[in-house]
Amino acid sequence: MKPFSFLFAGVLLGGLALPAGATPISLGFDKNTVLPGDQLVVTLSDASLDAPADAFTVTVLFDPARLQFSSVAVGAPLQSPGFDVTPGVPQAGSFDVSWIGTQTLPAGLAADLLVLTFKVLDNAPAGLANVTVGCGIDTQAFCIDYDIPTLSGDVTVRRNTTLPEPSPLLLGAAVMLAYGCVRTRRH
């Protein structure tokens, strides 16, 4: 399981409703704190695939003031010709992703269904950046074969606040000046 994951349950696979908790779906972040210019990876994972997953389309919402969508891919171990993702055109902090699987998955397999990559904007203000993934958020999203619940998580964007180090020459000059003042007072 990825760090900083938020677990949610409720999956509808192949027309068979599974009890809550039977197949936990999670949204994980590779970091909980990021700086402007950093890359952020968000993973939609299934801890235990229990049936063939044919297709789903989810809506991804993100904070456009802090994040810029970079890419989406099928996660491990589904990186084969039998699985594919197609992102829609990002617009004002949202886009749809269609996932298609043409292979039968082994039961009980843990898999990253989607790997979403974002860039933290260089001028991103400090604060929380939210990413939400799920079916039913948008009228274009559908999850007939694989029901993805609405999952949400935050990452903290911090500004780089490191203070510059004083120049060694300037620091040495200040020490010599202070030493000279103390020595002059004694005589």
pLDDT at 74: 86
Q: Is 16 helix (H, G, I), strand (E, B) or coil?
A: strand
Reported as a single tens digit per residue, the pLDDT across 2-36 is 333 332 222 222 333 333 334 478 899 999 999 99
pLDDT in tens, 143-173: 766 778 889 999 999 987 665 566 776 777 7
Give the DSSP H or E segment for 186.
helix 168-186
- Quick one: pLDDT at residue 186? 65
Give kind and range of the element (H or E) at residue 34.
strand 33-34
Question: Which pLDDT value is given to residue 139?
Answer: 59
Amino acid 4: pLDDT: 31
Higher per-residue confidence, 95 vs 52: 95
CA torsion, ordered 102, 103, 107, 113, to nearest 10 deg: -60
| C-alpha closest to that of 99 among 62, 127, 73, 133 | 73
Quick one: the chain helix, strand, coil %, rounded to 5?
10, 45, 45
Please report the pLDDT score of residue 85 as a whole number.
Answer: 84
Beta-sheet pairing, 25-29 with 39-49: antiparallel
- The fold of the 6-186 domain, in CATH, is Immunoglobulin-like (2.60.40)
